[in-house]
Copies of this chain bind each other. A is one copy, B any other.
Amino acid sequence: MFTVIMAGGSGTRFWPMSRRSKPKQFLNISGKAPLIVETCDRMKGLSRDEEIIVVLGENHLKEAKSLLKERKIHFMAEPIGRNTAPCIGLGAIFASHLGCEGPIAFLPADHFFAKPYALLEDLRRSAKIAESGVIVTLGIVPTRPETGYGYIQWKDEGPDSSKHPGHRVSAFVEKPTLEKARQYITRGDYFWNAGIFVATPQTILREIEETLPLLYRGLIQVKKVMGTEAFDKVLKEVYEELEGISFDYGVMEKTRSPVSVVPSDCGWSDVGSWQSLYEMRETDHDAEGNLTEGECLLIDCKENVVSSAGGRMVACLGLQNILVIDTRDAILIANLNNSQAVRTVTERLKKNGREDLL
């Protein structure tokens, strides 16, 4: 079974540790290995190296190849980031070019799974359904009324469900208010949308043809020259004409075809903020609930995240719930509860002409 790993993100939520040149998927978020390496390792149970395609920005190709040099996986570099719809389309035609006709798992490079075996098992179940020609999306069983995620509503289709042993998706729902999120949890017919899909290349292309005809035509042009010298030039021309659009918004929410969802209790996290990293790494906390890395000295401190990667001694005294991220040229000190707002810092830096720090 093929896997397409989407590694094109360039988020700034882990600034100053993440930079344009080193986005989140290249960070050692888990304390073990960079997320992209962990993602590729995790997929070993589902796909052989020759069946794994990493789609990423060409500016990150060198770094990724260096991190994954022991692996015989494929890389596909996008000349410009255009969000997930072109990325998934490109992954699909490349897999097809490599001989893939069956289901492909598409998943982001920068997520975390506490139960990787459950993920693989659920992807295998999804693949069985996807063979019938539907797109299957993984529905993460929610554990709290989270307002930072999109949701997937499903409905029982009765007899239809024998054809689709997953649930039939009835709606994709944008990030809700807290009140709505609480209702979703209580009702039980909502999952978190993790942006993880399983479908055959044919299904992907059929759905893109229906919903995003410009992208479809571009992909067909690219497919024709795959493996030839013209490839880079054509890919660049096609990408320059495309608008950035997510697969969720551009395809999944627009398609008239049925979509299936397979519930998954795989301990998923999108590790979307320092706060969520802190919670995810609970087993690495010290006795006072601090998560530390590098050369730190904490006195009378509890429940902080302190990282010293700048070669300096970071001394903390009497702190609670504070985030300290020290790097060579910038340091961030934030209330850990505000860590979702790190973006406001990078926006201000950009406005102040400090592109060198982004």
- Chain A, interface residues (CB within 8 Å), range: 35 or more
Docked pose: A342 CA to B334 CA in angstroms: 21
Query: Once the chains bind, are A313 and B344 in contact (CB under 8 Å)?
Result: no
Contact pick for A317, options B299, B317, B329, B335, CB 8 Å: B335
Chain B contacts for A322, CB-based, 8 A: 319, 322, 333
Asked if B331 contacts A313 (CB within 8 A), the reply is yes
Name the interface residues of A313-358: CB closer than 8 Å to any CB of B.
313-319, 322, 324, 326, 328-335, 337-339, 341-342, 344-345, 348-349, 352, 354, 357
Contacts of A339 in B (CB 8 A): 317
Contact in complex: A310, B313 (CB < 8 Å) = no
Complex Cα distance, B318 from A344, in Å, reads: 11
Q: Which of A315, A329, A348: most chain B CB closer than 10 A? A: A315
Contact (Cβ within 8 A) A331 B317: no
A16 at the interface (CB under 8 A from B): yes
Asked if A206 lies at the interface with its beta carbon under 8 angstroms from chain B, I say no
Instruction: Tell me the A274-331 residues at the B interface (CB within 8 Å).
Output: 297, 299-300, 310, 312-319, 322, 324, 326, 328-331
Extra contacts, 6 of them, besides A315-B349, A319-B335, A322-B333 (Cβ < 8 A), are: A315-B333, A316-B332, A317-B334, A317-B344, A318-B338, A319-B334
Contact A319 B299 (CB under 8 A): no
Do B349 and A297 touch (CB < 8 A)?
yes
Bound state CA distance, A354 and B312, in angstroms? 12
A312 and B329 contact, CB distance less than 8 A:
yes
In the assembled complex, which residues on chain B have CB atoms less than 8 Å from the CB atom of A335?
317-319
Question: Are A333 and B337 within 8 A (Cβ)?
Answer: no
Task: Name A325's closest neighbour in chain B (CB-CB).
Answer: B315
Query: Is the pair B315, A332 in contact by a Cβ cutoff of 8 Å?
Result: yes
Q: How far is the CB of A54 from the nearest CB of chain B, in Å?
A: 32
Q: How far is the CA of A275 from the CA of B337 in the complex (A)?
A: 25
| Distance between A172 CB and nearest chain B CB, rounded to angstroms | 32
User: Once the chains are docked, how many angstroms separate the CA of A237 from the CA of B337?
Assistant: 59
Contact A332 B317 (CB under 8 A): yes
**A33 CB to nearest B CB, Å:** 27
- Distance A326 CA – B316 CA, assembled complex (angstroms): 12
The answer to whether A348 touches B300 (Cβ under 8 A) is: no
Residue of B nearest to A308 (CB): B331
When C-beta atoms are compared, the residue in chain B nearest to A337 turns out to be B318
| CB–CB B318/A331 < 8 A | no
How far apart are the CA atoms of A53 and B331 in the complex, in Å?
43
- Give A306's nearest chain B residue, CB to CB: B333
**Which residues of B sit under 8 angstroms from A342, Cβ to Cβ?**
317
